[in-house]
C-alpha cells in the first residue's frame, strides 16, 4: 500500500524559522515534530513572490518557461498532481491563496477542490497583474485595440464564467459568513458582466480603462456608471489604498488588506473532516496564508487573540531564538497550532505512520525582519530574506546529501521520490536525495505582466558562496549586485566592481547560461566570452 502525502505550504515561511531545531521546538513545536521524524533543510526559491514561483512548485519548470507565469500552469506540460493521479492517489486541494486564482489551472487533476478566497481579489489581481498591461500596449502603439481586446476578452471571460460555477460547486462550509456574502454577490453580477462582454465588449474595455483595478468588481454588469457612484467608490478605495501605502512607507506595522483575510482556523475543521473519509492512498495540498498576511488589520479580533503568544515570543527574543517581528512570528505560531490539529487527526485515524508530511514555503518575508536596504525594484528583491525558504519533511527514508542546493522545483521532486511516484518528462526539479544544484536560478519579469519578449527580466544566481543579481534589458545583460556569502551573509556589501570577484561572476553567469540559455537566446543574447568584466556591462 502506498503512503499518503500531506503537502502543507505556509505562504512566506522563511528558512530561519526551521533552520535551528532548538528554536523551532520552542516557537513552532509541531513543525519541529515533523522535522524530528525526518529532516529539515534550506530551499532557495526560484522566485520571490507567489505568482512568480508557484509554476515551479506545481510544474517543476522555471517561472519564465512556457511563456511565463501570467496564466499560472495553464500552458505547462504537466502538473505534479497528475503524477499522483496516475499513481492511483485521491488528490485534494484546500487553500486560501488568491494568487492561485481561477483560470490559472492549479486545480487541474485534483479530485476535490476546497478553496476559500475573495473573488473580488481574483478579479483585481488578474486585471492589475496582467490585463492592464494589454491596455498599455494599445497606448504605446505596440498593439491595436482589437488585438488587445481579444486577449482581455478571452482571459476576463474565463474568470467571469468560472466564478459563478465555483460558488455553486464549492463546499462553502469553511467560508466565513462575510466571505460567503461577498462571493455570492460577485458571482451574481459576474453573469451579467459576462453577457455585457459578449454583446458590448467596448463598454467593458471602457470600464477597465476608466477605473482602478480594485474598483472593477463594483461595476460588474453595469453598462453605465453614474458620476456619484464613481466618486464614492474612488473615495473609499483612495482612503484604503493611501492607508496601506502610508503604513508601508513609514513602517506602521498593521494595516487593512484589500481583500477578505481567510485564516488557517477557517480551513482546518473541514480538512480534518476530509482526512477521516478520503480514500487511500491520498495526496492533499494545503495552502495557508496567515504568515503572508500577518500584518493584516482585516480581522482585528484574531489579531488581538494572537497576543497570547507574546510572553513566549519575548522569551524567545531574550534567548536569541528569533529576530523576527511579533506579527510574523505570532501568525506562524497560530498556524503551527492548526498544523498540530492535522497531525492529531492523522494520529486518531491511524494514518500518521503511513503519511509523509511535507511543510514548506513559496518565498520569504522581508518585513518579518531584515537589514535595511532602501527601496529596490521588485525584480531584485531576492536577498536571503526574500528567497530562503524552510522545508521540513517527516518519514524520510534517508537524509539529504547536503552537497548541493535545493530549489522550489526540487521540493516537489523530493516528495515524488520519497513516494516513488514517477515524474513527468518535462520536470526539471532535482531531489534533495541527489547531488542537488551547484547554484539556483531565481527569475521574474518584475511587477505586473510577464511579457517575455518586451519586458526587462531579472535573474538571481545563488551558490553556497556567492549571489549574483542580473538584469536583461532588451538583448543586453547587466550585472547589478554580487555578494560574498561567506564573509557577508547578510548581503550588505555589493562587490560587483571588485576585480577580485571576476571569477565568481564568470562561474555564476555560466550557470545562468547553462540553465536559461534558450530563454536568453530568444532575446538575442549569446553566452559571453570569459572573463566577464570586459564583456558584461556593470549596471549602475
Taking residues 29-56, report their average pLDDT.
Answer: 97
Q: Which residues pair with 466 in a beta bridge?
A: 484
- Beta carbons within 8 Å of 105's beta carbon, 6+ residues apart: 71, 72, 73, 74, 76, 79
What is the pLDDT, as a whole number, of residue 1? 77
Alpha-carbon Rg for the chain, nearest whole angstrom, is 23
Binned at pLDDT 50, 70 and 90, residue 534 comes out as very low
What is the pLDDT, as a whole number, of residue 89? 98
What is the pLDDT, as a whole number, of residue 249? 55
Three-state DSSP class for 16? Answer: helix
Per DSSP, the residues of 139-199 read HTTSS-HHHHHHHHHHHHHHHHHHHHHHHHHS-GGGS-HHHHHHHHHHHHHHHHHHHHHHH
pLDDT tens per residue across span 279-323: 999 999 999 999 999 988 889 999 999 999 999 999 999 999 999
Burial class (CB in 10 A: 0-12, 13-18, 19+), 161: middle
Q: Positive or negative, the Cα torsion across 67, 68, 73, 78?
A: positive
| Rounded CA separation 68/519 (Å) | 11
pLDDT at 472 over 80: yes
Taking residues 54-74, report their average pLDDT.
Answer: 97
Q: Positive or negative, the Cα torsion across 175, 267, 431, 322?
A: positive
What is the pLDDT, as a whole number, of residue 248? 54
| Rounded CA separation 58/285 (Å) | 11
H or E element at residue 391: strand 388-394
- Candidates 419, 435, 430; CA nearest to 81 is 419
pLDDT tens per residue across span 241-287: 555 565 555 555 665 667 889 999 999 999 999 999 999 999 999 99
CA distances from 416 to 341, 346, 353, 489, 507 (A): 25, 21, 18, 32, 31
pLDDT tens per residue across span 112-128: 999 999 999 999 999 99
Q: What angle do CA 240, 245, 248 make, to 5 degrees?
A: 125
Asked if residue 480 has a cis previous peptide bond (ω within 30° of 0), the answer is no
What is the pLDDT, as a whole number, of residue 153? 93
Binned at pLDDT 50, 70 and 90, residue 536 comes out as very low
- Residue 156, number of CB atoms within 10 A of its CB: 24
pLDDT tens per residue across span 376-387: 889 999 999 999
| Rounded CA separation 398/401 (Å) | 9
pLDDT at 102 over 50: yes
CA distances from 56 to 49, 138, 390, 455, 517 (A): 12, 31, 16, 20, 18
| Rounded CA separation 11/98 (Å) | 11
pLDDT: which is higher, 385 or 240: 385
- Beta carbons within 8 Å of 338's beta carbon, 6+ residues apart: 264, 265, 267, 268, 288
Instruction: Determine how β-strand 38-44 pairs with β-strand 388-394.
Output: antiparallel
| Rounded CA separation 274/272 (Å) | 5
pLDDT tens per residue across span 349-368: 999 999 999 999 999 999 99
Taking residues 37-41, report their average pLDDT.
Answer: 94
- Residue 339, number of CB atoms within 10 A of its CB: 25
What is the pLDDT, as a whole number, of residue 173? 85
Burial class (CB in 10 A: 0-12, 13-18, 19+), 274: middle
| Rounded CA separation 531/535 (Å) | 7
* Domains (range + CATH), the chain: 4-117+262-433 (3.40.720.10), 440-538 (3.30.1120)
What secondary structure letter does DSSP report for 284? E
Helices 145-169 & 132-139 angle (0-180, nearest 10)? 170
What is the pLDDT, as a whole number, of residue 246? 57
- Candidates 397, 362, 419; CA nearest to 57 is 362
Instruction: Determine how β-strand 282-288 pairs with β-strand 90-95.
Output: parallel
pLDDT at 537 over 90: no
Q: What pTM was computed for the model?
A: 0.93
pLDDT: which is higher, 294 or 397: 294
Q: What is the mean pLDDT of the chain?
A: 91
pLDDT at 237 over 90: no
- Residue 328, number of CB atoms within 10 A of its CB: 23
Burial class (CB in 10 A: 0-12, 13-18, 19+), 495: middle
Amino acid at each position: 500500500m502506498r503512503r499518503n502525502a500531506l503537502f502543507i505550504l505556509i505562504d512566506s515561511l522563511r528558512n530561519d524559522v526551521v533552520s535551528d531545531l532548538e528554536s523551532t521546538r520552542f516557537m513552532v513545536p509541531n513543525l519541529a515534530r515533523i522535522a524530528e521524524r525526518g529532516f529539515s533543510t534550506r530551499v532557495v526559491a526560484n522566485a520571490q513572490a507567489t505568482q512568480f514561483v508557484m509554476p515551479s512548485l506545481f510544474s517543476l519548470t522555471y517561472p519564465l518557461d512556457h511563456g511565463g507565469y501570467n496564466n499560472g500552469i495553464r500552458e505547462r506540460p504537466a502538473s505534479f498532481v497528475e503524477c499522483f493521479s496516475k499513481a492511483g492517489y485521491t488528490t485534494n486541494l484546500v487553500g486560501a491563496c488568491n494568487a492561485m486564482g481561477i483560470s490559472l489551472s492549479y486545480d487541474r487533476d485534483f479530485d476535490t477542490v476546497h478553496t476559500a478566497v475573495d473573488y473580488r481579489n481574483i478579479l483585481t489581481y488578474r486585471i492589475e497583474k496582467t490585463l492592464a498591461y494589454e491596455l498599455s500596449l494599445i497606448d504605446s502603439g505596440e498593439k491595436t485595440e482589437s488585438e488587445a481586446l481579444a486577449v482581455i476578452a478571452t482571459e476576463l471571460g474565463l474568470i467571469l464564467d468560472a466564478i459563478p460555477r465555483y460558488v455553486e460547486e464549492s463546499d462553502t462550509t469553511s467560508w466565513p459568513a462575510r466571505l460567503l456574502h461577498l462571493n455570492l454577490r460577485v458571482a451574481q453580477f459576474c453573469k451579467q458582466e459576462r453577457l455585457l462582454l459578449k454583446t458590448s465588449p467596448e463598454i467593458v474595455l471602457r470600464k477597465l480603462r476608466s477605473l482602478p483595478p480594485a474598483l472593477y468588481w463594483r461595476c460588474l454588469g453595469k453598462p453605465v456608471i453614474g458620476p456619484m457612484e464613481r466618486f464614492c467608490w474612488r473615495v473609499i478605495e483612495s482612503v484604503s489604498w493611501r492607508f496601506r501605502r502610508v503604513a508601508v512607507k513609514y513602517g506602521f506595522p498593521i494595516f487593512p488588506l484589500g481583500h477578505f483575510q481567510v485564516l488557517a482556523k477557517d480551513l482546518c475543521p473541514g480538512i480534518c473532516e476530509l482526512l477521516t473519509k478520503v480514500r487511500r492512498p491520498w495526496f492533499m495540498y494545503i495552502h495557508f496564508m496567515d504568515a503572508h498576511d500577518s500584518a493584516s488589520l482585516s480581522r482585528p479580533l484574531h489579531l488581538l487573540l494572537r497576543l497570547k503568544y507574546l510572553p513566549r515570543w519575548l522569551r524567545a527574543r531574550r534567548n536569541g531564538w528569533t529576530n523576527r517581528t511579533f506579527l510574523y512570528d505570532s501568525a506562524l505560531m497560530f498556524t503551527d497550532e492548526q498544523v498540530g490539529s492535522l497531525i492529531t487527526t492523522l494520529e486518531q485515524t491511524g494514518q500518521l505512520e503511513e503519511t509523509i508530511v511535507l511543510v514548506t514555503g513559496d518565498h520569504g518575508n522581508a518585513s518579518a525582519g531584515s537589514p535595511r536596504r532602501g527601496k529596490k525594484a521588485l525584480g531584485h528583491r531576492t536577498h536571503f530574506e526574500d528567497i530562503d525558504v524552510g522545508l521540513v519533511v517527516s518519514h524520510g527514508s534517508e537524509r539529504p546529501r547536503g552537497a548541493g542546493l535545493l530549489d522550489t522545483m526540487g521540493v516537489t521532486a523530493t516528495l515524488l521520490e520519497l513516494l516513488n511516484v514517477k515524474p513527468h518528462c518535462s520536470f526539471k526539479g532535482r531531489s534533495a536525495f541527489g547531488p542537488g544544484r551547484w547554484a539556483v536560478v531565481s527569475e521574474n519579469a518584475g511587477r505586473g505582466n510577464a511579457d517575455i519578449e518586451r519586458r526587462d527580466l531579472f535573474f538571481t544566481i545563488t551558490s553556497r558562496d556567492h549571489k549574483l543579481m542580473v538584469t536583461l534589458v532588451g538583448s543586453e545583460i547587466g550585472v547589478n549586485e554580487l555578494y560574498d556569502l561567506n564573509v557577508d551573509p547578510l548581503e550588505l556589501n555589493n562587490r560587483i566592481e571588485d576585480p577580485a570577484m571576476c571569477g565568481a561572476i564568470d562561474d555564476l553567469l555560466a550557470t545562468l547560461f547553462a540553465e536559461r540559455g534558450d530563454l536568453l537566446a530568444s532575446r538575442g543574447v549569446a553566452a559571453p566570452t570569459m572573463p566577464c568584466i570586459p564583456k558584461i556591462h556593470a549596471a549602475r
